[in-house]
Copies of this chain bind each other. A is one copy, B any other.
Amino acid sequence: MSPLSTSGRRKRPYHHGDLRQALLDATLELLADSGLRDLSLRAVARHAGVSHAASYRHFASKESLLAALAEQGFRMLGQAMSAAMQAQADEPVARLQAAGVGYVSFGVQHPQHLQVMFGGAIGSFEHYPQLVEAARAAYALLADVVRNGIERGALRAKDAQTVQAAAWAIVHGLTQLMAGGQLCQSDGAPLPLAQQLALARSVTALFSEGLAAQRPTGRRPTAKTGVS
């Protein structure tokens, strides 16, 4: 990216090349180390190797840097859900589950983005129209797959809004609980990624099968069922 190699003791060129992205990257690294609470704009600049005033060439304020990162996060979330759904046949229950797994999968793999998106760092989304739009678009993916499933008679319908809220809530809650360390191993250590994804699959399966107009195996409880 930078015109001169930074290796070999060459002094860093006066112009950075892509400081905007470098600041966003530095922010993610600091968030991974110490969390939102302790994040400062000065530390971000320090981490990116520039003076702390330099960031004002790219972001109007600390909050607007975080808003840019949150926007990036919502786009990534949308892509994660889309990609997961496209790997499915055109079957509403399977697509709903896939979208849910995509949501959780994004969240547990990008907890820094999650913090900025949902951690209350941004006073009001309304000041950042592109952020509002990105968030809306991500939610719409989930809402659409639910609405479509209901219209096609594949999902039990109360009103669509209830089902949409429920679908959002379960994947959001699972993501937050795992990323926040509340849902963890019995010794308190966070679940390894593979187990997080496995839990995401089984929870979303439970939910979307419970929502299916027909029970998958007919009308008896699932094959796996057994009273212990």
Contacts and interface: CB of A to CB of B under 8 A. Distances in A.
B221 A35 contact: no
Contact of A158 (B36, B156, B160, B206): B206
A166 B221 contact: no
Tell me how many chains of this kind the complex includes: 2
Interface in A84-142: 115, 118-121, 126, 135
B157 A226 contact: yes
A6 interface: no
Contacts of A162: 199, 202-203, 206
Interface of A: 35-37, 115, 118-121, 126, 135, 150-153, 156-160, 162-163, 165-166, 168-177, 180, 182-183, 188, 199, 202-203, 205-207, 209-211, 213, 219, 221-222, 224-228
Contacts of A225: 156-158, 213
A150 to B, nearest CB: 7
14 contacts: A36-B120, A119-B119, A120-B180, A126-B188, A156-B222, A159-B202, A162-B199, A162-B202, A166-B174, A169-B169, A169-B172, A169-B174, A170-B173, A206-B211
Given A174-B173, A176-B176, A37 B227 contact: no
B183 A165 contact: yes
A217 to B, nearest CB: 11
B35 A120 contact: yes
B227 A151 contact: yes
A154 to B, nearest CB: 10
Contact of A120 (B37, B173, B209, B213): B37
B213 A210 contact: no
Contacts of A156: 206, 210, 221-222, 225
A172 B166 contact: no
A185 B152 CA distance: 26
Given A173-B174, A173-B176, A213-B221, A203 B165 contact: yes
